[in-house]
Each structure stands twice: as C-alpha cells, then as structure tokens.
Structure 1
Amino acid sequence: MPPDSAPPTPVSDRVRHATALDAPGIGALKVRAWRAAYGSFMSRALLDSLDPAEDAARWAEYLSDIPADHRLWVSEAAGGVTGFCRTGPTDARRDADLGGAAAEVHGLYIDPARIGTGLGRALFAHAVTDLERRGHGPVCVYAYTPNTTAVRFYERAGFTADGTTRLDPDDGIEVPEVRLVKR
C-alpha cells in the first residue's frame, strides 16, 4: 500500500465527523480508555475521579462551537462510538519550530476492547490524511513517555520522536509527553 494512502476502515466501523449527539459516547469512551491505558503511570485517584457525564458535557460544548480548523472524528459500529481522534493546529509558541502550517493530532482513543483490531490505525490514518489534504504539515502528536505502546504505535505510523518533551500545565498531570513528528 502506498505510504500516503490510509488503510481501510474495518468493515463494521465507519469514520465520520463527530456531532454533539456523540458527546455521551465520546465521554464514556475517553474515561474507559484513560483507565485502561494510563493505569500504570497515573494516580488511581485521578483515574477514579474521571466522570463520563462531566466529560460528555465538555465534549458537547466543544462540538457546539468547534473551531473551523479543528476536526473531531469518531468511528462507530452498531450506532456506538468505538473511537475518536481530535486534530487541529499546533500550539504556535510551543511548536514554533515546526512552522506555521503544522498541525497536531490532539488525541486518539479507541475502545479498549477494540485495541489490536486495526481500528486505531485506520482512524489515525484518516485524521492524518485529512490534515495533509488540507495543506497541513508537518503533523505532530504527543504521547505520555511511559505509554510505550502508544509511542510504538505512532512510530509504526511513520512518526519519529524529535526530542521535544512537555509537561502540560493545563491538565494538572505531572507525566512528561514526547513529541513525535511526521514531516
């Protein structure tokens, strides 16, 4: 398969733009995904405090007035959200070295029961292809450094860690993230 073509979405899953009606499914999925993926390096108290309804309310608000240069993609099967991926511009100050056309995959979450099915690969490829078709590049993604599974996933997708790290002061999580870039 040529490197610029996305792998097919699994037959049972459809990728589309998210709507505010997806917010409950996105909120519930995010909480499940965080608890499954981050349990080994985030505090149990933090993970236990996550509330799907509160998260859904934040997603509904975001989707009600999504900025024009952002996208929130969902994958669905049998009417339920099986994954989501959010994209948009990079932080112009933090990622200035990437240039003005750079974009970021701000999050990719797959239902833990669907990990390993190819769904994550298809959803991520869809989101990155959309950014590239809209003239963005390079594209970056940040991953928590202890989450070696995610780092390997992004490397297999053609992204390379470039040595840039961050601690996100807005999220209150004291876990460093590494930037991976596809140029």
Structure 2
Amino acid sequence: MVVIRHARQNEIGLLAAIGLRAWAKAIAGLADAARMRDAAESAFVDFLTEHWLSVLLIEEENQVCGWAAREDLDGTISDLWIDPAAQGMGLGRALLADMEQRMAAEGFDVASAKTHAQNTAAVAFFQSAGYRVKWLSTAYSQKLDRDMEFIGLSKEL
C-alpha cells in the first residue's frame, strides 16, 4: 500500500540517504560522485534539517521510498528524489501528483521545478507529467560544487 505523508524530524537521516543515492544516480557520467559525496551529503542534511516541515515522503509497504519538498511552501518543487531501487514503479508520479493537488488546493495556478539540464531522465519525467521547459540558465550547485546548467519547467494546475 502506497502512503504519502509529511516527513518527521527523526527521518532526516533516512531522507538524506535516499536523496544522496538518487543524486548519485542522476549525476552518473556528469561528475565524480565519489569526490563530491561528502559535500552532497552535507547539503541534503542541511536542507532537510532546515526544511523538513516542507517535505512529503512516499512509502510503500511501510518503507520510505522517496521524498519531495517545496522549500518555500510556494508553487515550486525544490526537490523530488526517489530511491533508485524504487524508481520505475510510479512512485515519483504519485508523489508529484499529490504535490500538485496540494498546490492547487492552496491556490497556486502553476507548478514549477528545476533540474540540471543534462539530467535527461528528470526532464523526461516532468515533461511526461505535462511540464514544459520555460528557461535555461547557469547557476552554482551546492551538491555538485560547481556551476551547472539548469532547466526550469512549469505546468498549469
């Protein structure tokens, strides 16, 4: 049974580990994940420590499989991470749909997200859910510890 619920503060370590595994898969071939692992782990822990109240997680059979966040509790999805072992099972789609429903209920007309431009799997995921590319820019990535091209996507709710 799939359950989507708010994260709890005592789950920060678990959520950071899931984010780190998903991040490592997403940057495979783009950067040296092993070299950047400590910085990425710190970034996840810092983010989750500060923003755990904005995090929804998804469980299947009582096991946490992924999480998503709206860092500023606005119409922007700042994070969406599914454990690589659970990818391809529709959990990301279910979590995204839940977040979109919550945003619409809160009065937001548009949902937006961003990812690094070379993360073709994430771009395809959002596009398959009805998101369209709105912008491309270069910015510093704390998790990658370098400048990266980012792509912004949005969808009318």
Q: Choose from 95, 99, 118 the match for 1:146.
A: 118
- Whether 1:113 and 2:96 are equivalent positions in the alignment is no
Change (3 A) 1:28 1:128: same
Q: Map 1:1-183 onto structure 2 (within 5 A).
A: 11=1, 13-50=2-39, 52=41, 55-56=44-45, 58-63=47-52, 66=53, 71-89=54-72, 103-162=75-134, 164-169=135-140, 171=142, 172-183=145-156
Give the C-alpha shift of residue 22 in structure 1. 1.4
Q: 1: CA distance between counterparts of 2:46 and 2:62? A: 20
Gaps of 5+ in 1: 1-10, 91-101
Give the C-alpha shift of residue 76 in structure 1. 1.8
- TM-score w.r.t. length of structure 1: 0.74
Aligned partner of 1:97 in structure 2 is none
Change (3 A) 1:89 1:20: closer
Report Cα offsets for 1:73-121 as digits up to 9, x if no partner: 001234432100001549xxxxxxxxxxx61010100010111100110
Change (3 A) 1:176 1:57: closer
Q: 1: CA distance between counterparts of 2:20 and 2:75? A: 25
**Which has more radius of gyration?**
1
Q: 2: CA distance between counterparts of 1:174 and 1:46? A: 16
The structure richer in helix per residue is: 2
Q: Percent identity among equivalent residues?
A: 23
Give the C-alpha shift of residue 55 in structure 1. 3.6
Report Cα offsets for 1:34-87 as digits up to 9, x if no partner: 111112212335443357577446523433xx4xxxx31001234432100001
- TM-score w.r.t. length of structure 2: 0.85
| 4+ runs deviating over 4 angstroms | 50-54
Please state whether the residue corresponding to 1:82 is helix, strand or coil.
strand
Look up the equivalent residue of 2:106 and give its one-letter code.
Answer: R
Please state whether the residue corresponding to 1:42 is helix, strand or coil.
coil
The structure richer in strand per residue is: 2
Verify the 8 A CA contact 1:21 1:60 in the aligned structure 2: no
